[in-house]
A and B are shown apart, each in its own frame.
Chain A
C-alpha cells in the first residue's frame, strides 16, 4: 500500500460507545496530524505528533484521545461523543516538524463519523 490509509471509512456510533479511528502512513514520514472537517466549517487541526511525541493539542475535548505508538501509526480513541462531533476526520502526515521547509502534508481518505 502507498500513501496514507484510514480505517474505518465510515462509522456510526452511539453517544455511549467507545471506538477508535486508525491511520497508517507508508511514506516514511515522522509527523502525523488529526483534523476535523465539519460541514460548512474550515478544517480544524486537532492534534500533531512529531517523532511519536505530541506537539500540539488544539483545545480538543478529552472525549477525543490520540495515540501515536510509532511514526507510522496514529489512533484517535473516541468515547462518550456528542452529536456535534459528527464530521469527517482526516489524518495527514508530513516529513517532520521544525525543518524550516514548510513540509507538504499528505492526507488520508478520512473517516466519516456519525454520532447518534
Chain B
C-alpha cells in the first residue's frame, strides 16, 4: 500500500492564483515526520519543511503555508499568489523513525505549472 499519496498528478494555475497541493499519509507509528520538497526543472530536490507528528500547529512561511491534520492523516501545502517560479514538481514524504534507519517514503509528486 502507498504510504504517501499525492492524488493530484498535475495542476495548472494562472499566476497570482492560490493553489493547494494535497498529501495523505498512512502510518501506524505515533512518532513520525512529514516533509515537503520542491523539484524545479534543474532536478535538485529542495527541502521546504519538516513537521513532527506532535506538532499540529499550521505553519506559514511567506507565500507558503502548511495544514497538518492528524485526524485525516493529511499534510497539505498551499501556495498563495502563485508565481511562475513556483512551477516545479512537489513531493510530500513521510519518515517513520525506527532503530535501524531513517526510512523516507515519498509520494509520486504533483507537477505544478503556473501560467503567466
> Knowing A55-B100, A98-B100, A100-B97 touch, does A112 contact B43 (C-beta < 8 A)?
yes
Over the window 72-116 of chain A, the binary record of Cβ atoms lying under 8 Å from chain B Cβ atoms (1 yes, 0 no) is 000000000000000010101010011111111111111010000
The segment from B59-67, B77-85, B104-112 found at the interface with A is: B104-112
Q: Which residues from chain B contact A31 at a C-beta distance below 8 Å?
A: 102
Residue with the highest number of chain A CB atoms closer than 10 Å, among B45, B47, B99, B109: B45
25 A-B pairs within 8 Å (CB atoms) are namely A31-B102, A42-B106, A42-B107, A43-B91, A48-B101, A50-B101, A55-B100, A88-B43, A90-B45, A97-B101, A98-B100, A98-B102, A101-B33, A101-B97, A102-B32, A102-B33, A102-B50, A102-B52, A102-B95, A103-B95, A103-B102, A104-B47, A107-B45, A109-B42, A110-B44
- Chain A residues in the interface with B (C-beta under 8 A): 31, 41-43, 45, 48, 50, 55-56, 88, 90, 92, 94, 97-110, 112
